[in-house]
Structure 1
Amino acid sequence: MSKIIFRKDVPQTKALVKAARISAKRAFSGSKALGLTITYIKDGVVYEEEANGTVVIKKQIEKAVNVPFEFKKGLVLHAK
């Protein structure tokens, strides 16, 4: 069995990014419909958004650090 090598495939990458954005939007709206709190990071700030639309600033991130995450029901990951 040969080793799989990653190749640049721009159309496939664009399709994956598009699918990820659509999935994130659906998960976001689904979590809001279930009344779950949504936590996300934007511009180095951690926000927590309630189902009613109230946004609370939780924390300012100074530096990116690799931290193990605990995944819970309703968690939405956003990537660029």
Structure 2
Amino acid sequence: MENLNKMDNPEFYDARMKLEAIHQDIKRLMEKSNQEYLDLMLSNLKKDILNSVSVYISDDIENDLEQNMVNPCKMRETCKEK
């Protein structure tokens, strides 16, 4: 009876190499998926931060304009709209 556990058996070696290739493919796929997920998270974080800063600056400009504009200004509404 043949001993199938020997390392010199070509079928065992081929199966082992195929398993190793599958393992490497799965590992690369997981790394790529993780990288894509991290890229998506970073992109969303950038958008959220930029949106927050933009809203803050717009509100700040509007408040400063309202507080510092001269009262009898005829262009008051025009400036506030922009």
The TM tier, using the shorter chain, reads 0.3 to 0.5
Higher RCO (Cα < 8 Å, 6 or more apart): 1
Normalising by structure 1, we get a TM-score of 0.37
Scaled by the length of structure 2, the TM-score of the pair is 0.36
Task: Work out which of the two has the higher radius of gyration on C-alpha atoms and give 1 or 2.
Answer: 2
Q: Which has the higher strand share?
A: 1
